Amino acid sequence: MKVTVLAPAKINLSLDILGKRPDGYHLVKMLMQSVDLCDIVSVWDTGDGKISLSCNADGVPCEKTNTAWRAAEAFFTFTKKRNPGIGIKIKKRIPVSAGLAGGSTDAAAVLVALNELMNTRLSKEELCDIGEDVGADVPFCIMGATMVATGIGTILTPAPDMPECSILVAKPPVSVSTKEAYALADDRESYWEPHTDDAVEAVCDGELQKIADSLYNDFEELIHLKEVDNIKELMLENGALGACMSGSGPTVFGLFEDQGAAEDCAGLLEKDCEMVTVCRPLDHGCIILD
């Protein structure tokens, strides 16, 4: 039996870093949104008692350091079931190290797939409990839709669905170290006033322009990447209602009312970006494909 799962990326409509716990984890408040830029993750029973993993993308480790592999191990530890041997195949469309939770959503997809494959009938909340030990974004990727995330990002509160719109996503050819980005936050004399409540209020009002006006990311203010600034400027000059960096970057997204304008702007960005795509907001996280 093979189970195939659609694994959506996420964007951060707002991201505030509020502090740091004694164990080193950072406290955040975020408004997160699933989008229909998705990986496809297949899981099946091999019968050999081992975990094997393959991926179509260069640079993705296909061994125990991969979050999908770790999710499989965490699943069997939590359920106390014997691993019969599983194969995992990841077809990536979400770019790696982009601030879009590509690794976390693959891990979430493995948990969803194993729950079906092993007939364990765990609730989404139980899957989130497992996922929390794998990565802070994994619970959101299981639940998906529009969520307020607090604590270290694992305490989720549903928000109203985001209004229909086109979301232009562009990744410039630069890399960002999440660890170093958080270190910049730690170097601040004090933490900045949070912005996420404004974004949540905007989503509750259901006004796309208000949401666009409330986009915010602490990392963007800390890192100051010229590539991010250039992409934002181009998006805003070509019809975006608002634009912002996602996660620790470097990917930038812009909110558009008009899909044609988003696609035209995508064409302008393609020559200078590693990945450009137009997507839409989703009202779900990882789901099993028929």
Catalytic residues: 10, 137
Q: What are phi and psi of 284, to 5 degrees?
A: -155, 165
For residues 26 and 21, give the distance between their C-alpha atoms in angstroms, rounded to a whole number.
Answer: 6
Instruction: Give the H/E segment covering residue 285.
Output: none
User: In one letter, which amino acid is 170?
Assistant: A
Structure tokens at 5: 């799962």
Residue 94 backbone class (left: φ over 0; alpha: ψ -120 to 50; beta: rest): beta
Please choose, from the candidates 170, 169, 166, the residue with its C-alpha nearest in 3D space to the C-alpha of residue 258: 166
User: In one letter, which amino acid is 21?
Assistant: R
